[in-house]
Structure 1
Amino acid sequence: MKQAIVGFERDEEGHWVARLACGHGQHMRHDPPWQQRPWTETEAGRASKIGVVVECLKCDRGEVPTFPVE
C-alpha cells in the first residue's frame, strides 16, 4: 500500500527510519554499494523527502502501526 513519508527518526543502531502516514516505520539506509541514499545524511536531504510516497509492506501484511498516526 502506498504511504507518504511524514518524518524521520533514528533507530537504536543509528539508522534513519522514515515515519509513514500509516504509522509504520521504514528504514532508509545509506549503505553503499547496496543502498544508495546519500540524502539521508543531511537534514535538508531528509526534509526533501517529506511527502514522498513509498510502498508500505507492513500495511500490506496488516501489521499494527508502531508510531501514532498524525
Structure 2
Amino acid sequence: MKITIYGPGCKNCVNLADNAKKAVAEAGVEAEIIKEEDMAEIAKAGIMSTPAIGIDGEVKIKGKVATVEEIKDLIS
C-alpha cells in the first residue's frame, strides 16, 4: 500500500504524516508513506486545499488533518 501526504510541508502536513505513521503501526499493515510537496503535482491530483491524504493514488481526505482513527478506517 502507498500512502501519499500532499502538502507544502506545513505544520498540519507534518501532523498528518505523523498520524499516518501511527495508523499504519496500529493497524499492523505494510505501507510506504510518501510526502508530495510539489504544488504542481498537488494541483494535478485535484487538491485545492492541503493537507490531503491519498491511498494507492486515490485522494481520500483533503483540507484537514485526518485523525489516526480516520486513517485506520481507510487502510484496514
User: In terms of Rg, which structure is larger?
Assistant: 1
The structure with higher relative contact order (CA 8 Å, sep 6+) is 2
Q: TM-score, normalised by structure 1?
A: 0.33
Which one has the bigger helix percentage? 2
